[in-house]
Amino acid sequence: MTTAQDTTTTKSPVAAPTRGSRFTGAVANYLDERTSISGITKELGRKIFPDHWSFMLGEVALYSFIAILLSGTFLTFFFEPTMTQVHYEGSYVGLKGIEMSAAYASTLDISFDIRGGLLMRQVHHWAALLFVAAIGLHMLRVFFNGSFKKPRELNWVIGFVLFILAMGEGFTGYSLPDDLLSGNGLRIIDGMVKGIPLAGTWISYLLFGGEFPGTAIVPRLYSLHILLLPAILVAALGLHLLLMVINKHTQYAGPGRTNDNVVGVPIMPNFAAKAGGFFFVVFGVIVLISSFFTINPIWNYGPYDPSPISAGTQPDWYIGFADGGLRLVPPGLEFVLWGHTWSFNIILPLIVLGLFIVLVAIYPFLEAWITGDKREHHITERPRNAPTRTAIGAAGVTFYAVLWAAAASDILATHFHLTIEAVTHSLQALLILGPIIAYLIAKRVCLALQKKDREIALHGYESGRMIRLPGGEYHEVHQPLDDYERWRLVDYVDYKPLMIRPDARGRISPVQRVRAVLSRWFFEDRISPATRAELESGEGHH
């Protein structure tokens, strides 16, 4: 991060050092003289505080992860990750004397017989839901701002890995208590794995250590959940933050903000209180929710037993899209060929969801290839200034949302008095049509907003004040913009479709042709920002 002092040395002019940055400098000096850690203090003490709320979503994820770590550690003291059968003798009357696994019994003990245990379980689970939700929103923010562009593509991929790891952590954790609901969830995973052609059954046996459910799965998931996945997660998180510091944060366009600096208020005195407090705010919200709202009432679900199935079995929200995919496959896709059963009702959603996820992961590279844009970017793009990307994003969000809604199709049906078939068929149609409609609408809206911006940049705001000219003509006075606002409106890069040129041998390869077509699709509809010349002549008008 660059401080205000640093920014004065960059090309663009900014205000003189504020009191805040002088204080920062003093702190840095004091510590540096004693520890020589100026590098670190500079980075952290002078970290520029983000000036837009959406830049704080990553922090929300980080803080909920800390809440997860703390509560999870508490749970490990009391949780017993084995499937040994025991008879429950704890204080919950509803399950007294019932045979169950030690995992389930110990989770009941945490809930009913260990002081603070239930709160910790609820903190752990609510924080997990918040964690994944914050990551999701954070990813959307980065996507719609184009903040994944060079040099940040790698950090996008790392962030994506974090998202997948978080879902993995959630799913393994969800299955640990060995209750009926999580067992049903595992059964679905088992079914999906078995649906993989040829190798499926083998993989399932490997995973569960024999026939489902076996007695091995809980200890195995436990190792994954508290050891392997968190270790990778913490490492990836460290890398993610490190790259963020190295690449610096993106910023919205404004006077003095260029691709070569970062402008903002240094974190140290001004915002330190607010920002430091923010951790406690996130933590506080989690604990408040956990004290007042039940989550995963496993005592209602009973111990896992393969025979009962509950109506309305759903996974946690972040796995919902996969469940929705399974619910939306049309029937009749299973057939026998060459002595094997081909369960396309399972393979198809696996392929579609797999493709979707891979597309998300590699999107920065796809876009860079299509646009041929190899420049570095540090300015946060306003979504409207990249209409095609915003439209793609809207389509993706719609696709995901429909899958997500499908995971609750039964609840939609009972609560809105619809038939489950009507809900399923509507969602099937929406899954295809929804993204297309969202794409078209988002693109139109972006272009319209761009047009409005251009209009305002050139002519100012409509003031609503009418004047009569000497010739009798009526005219509305337009209020000119100040520089700050105008900057925001006109400072964006205007791309043009790629011109594909023949290669050294004078030929245009088919790949390049495809690229040209894609590039034209990406950029053909655009509104150029008002140019300097236009602005100047425009200013003369009113």
Partner 1 sequence: MRTHTSTDARGRQTGRRHPLASIALITIGLLSTGGAYALMTTTASAETSVATQQSVNEGQKIFAANCATCHGMTASGTKDGPSLYGVGAASVDFQMGTGRMPLAYQGPQGAQKPLQFTQEQIDDVAAYIASLAPGPAVPDEKYLAGDADVALGGQLFRTNCAMCHNVAGAGGALTEGKFAPSLKGVEARHIYEAMVTGPQNMPVFSDSNLSPQDKADIISFLKFQNQHASPGGVDLGGLGPVSEGLFIWIFGLGAIVGVTIWITARPN
The footprint of ligand HEM on residues 63-82 (CB under 6 A) is: 65, 68-69, 72-73, 75-76, 79
CB burial string 314-334: b at 16+ within 10 A, e below: bbbebbbbbbbbbbbbeeeee
Cα-Cα-Cα-Cα dihedral sign, residues 188, 190, 194, 200 = positive
Contacts to partner 1 from residues 354-373, by CB under 8 A: none
In the stretch 174-193, what mask flags binding to partner 1 with x, by CB under 8 A? ------xx------------
Residue from 105, 129, 226, 347 in contact with partner 1 (CB under 8 A):
129
Of 105 and 267, nearer to ligand HEM (C-beta) is 105
Residue span binding ligand HEM (CB under 6 A) among the ranges 44-52, 147-155, 166-174, 334-342: 166-174
- Rounded CA gap, 183 and 172, in Å? 11
Q: Work out what residue 309 binds among partner 1, ligand HEM, none; the CB cut-off runs from 5 to 8 Å by kind.
A: partner 1
At closest approach, how far in Å is the CB of 183 from partner 1?
11
Instruction: Select from ligand HEM, partner 1, none the partner in contact with residue 226, using the beta carbon and a kind-dependent cut-off of 5 to 8 Å.
Output: ligand HEM
Among ligand HEM, partner 1, none, partner that 169 touches (CB below 5 to 8 angstroms by kind) = ligand HEM
- Residue 294 or 414 having the CB closest to ligand HEM: 294
**By the rule CB under 8 A, 95 interacts with partner 1:** yes
The count of other CB atoms within 10 Å of the CB of residue 193 is 21
Interacting residue with partner 1 among 196, 295, 353, 357 (CB under 8 A): 295
C-alpha to C-alpha distance for 418 and 420, rounded to whole angstroms: 6
Place of tokens 């046996």: 205
125 binds ligand HEM (CB under 6 A): yes
DSSP 438-484: HHHHHHHHHHHHHHHHHHHHHH-EEEEEEEE-TTS-EEEEEEPPPHH
Output Rg (C-alpha) for the chain, integer angstroms. Answer: 28
Cβ partners under 8 Å of residue 357, min gap 6: 164
Q: Are 124 and 68 in contact (CB under 8 A)?
A: yes
With CB cut-offs between 5 and 8 Å by kind, which of partner 1, ligand HEM, none does residue 170 bind? ligand HEM
- What is the smallest separation between the CB atom of 68 and ligand HEM, expressed in angstroms? 5
Query: What is the nearest approach in angstroms of partner 1 to the Cβ of residue 238?
Result: 23
528 binds ligand HEM (CB under 6 A): no
* Residue 317 contact, options ligand HEM, partner 1, none, Cβ 5-8 Å cut-off depending on partner type: partner 1
Q: Which of 80, 169, 190, 323 forms a contact with ligand HEM (CB under 6 A)?
A: 169
- Contact flag: residue 96 with partner 1 (CB under 8 A): yes
Contacts of residue 489, defined as CB under 8 A and 6 or more positions apart, other chains included, come to: 453, 454, 456, 457, 481, 529, 530
Q: Which is nearer to ligand HEM, 73 or 300 (CB)?
A: 73
Alpha-helical segments (H) within 331-419? 344-371, 387-406, 409-415
Q: Are strands 99-101 and 85-87 parallel, antiparallel or unpaired?
A: antiparallel
> For strand 379-380 and strand 251-252, is the pairing parallel, antiparallel, or unpaired?
parallel
Number of residues that bind ligand HEM (CB under 6 A): 27
Give the number of other Cβ atoms within 10 Å of residue 115's Cβ. 7
In the block, residue with structure tokens 């059968």: 85
Give the range of 30-38, 39-47, 314-322, 512-520 binding partner 1 by CB under 8 A. 314-322
Q: Which two tokens stand for residue 435?
A: 């993204």
Tell which one of 302, 325, 349, 396 touches partner 1 (CB under 8 A).
Answer: 302
Q: Does 293 bind partner 1 (CB under 8 A)?
A: yes
Is 296 a residue that touches partner 1 (CB under 8 A)?
A: yes
Smallest distance from ligand HEM to CB 76, Å? 5
Residue 32 interacting entry, from partner 1, ligand HEM, none, C-beta within 5 to 8 Å by type: none
DSSP state of 179: B
Question: Distance between CA 24 and CA 280 in Å, rounded?
Answer: 24
Instruction: Name the residue nearer to ligand HEM (CB basis): 128 or 489.
Output: 128
Distance CA 57, CA 51 (A): 12
> Applying CB under 8 A, does 253 fall inside the site for partner 1?
no
Instruction: Evaluate the CA torsion angle 134, 137, 138, 139 in order and state its sign.
Output: positive
Query: Whole-number minimum distance, CB 131 to ligand HEM, in Å?
Result: 6
Interface with partner 1, residue 420, by CB under 8 A: yes
136: tokens are: 């999701």
Token pair of 490, please?
């006109």
Q: How many CB atoms lie within 10 A of CB 17?
A: 17
- What is the nearest approach in angstroms of ligand HEM to the Cβ of residue 122? 8
Residue 138 interacts with ligand HEM (CB under 6 A): yes or no = no
Q: Which of 166, 172, 158 is nearest to 127 (CA)?
A: 166
Report the interface residues with ligand HEM, using CB under 6 A: 65, 68-69, 72-73, 75-76, 79, 107, 110, 121, 124-125, 128, 131, 166, 169-170, 173-174, 176-177, 225-226, 230, 233, 296
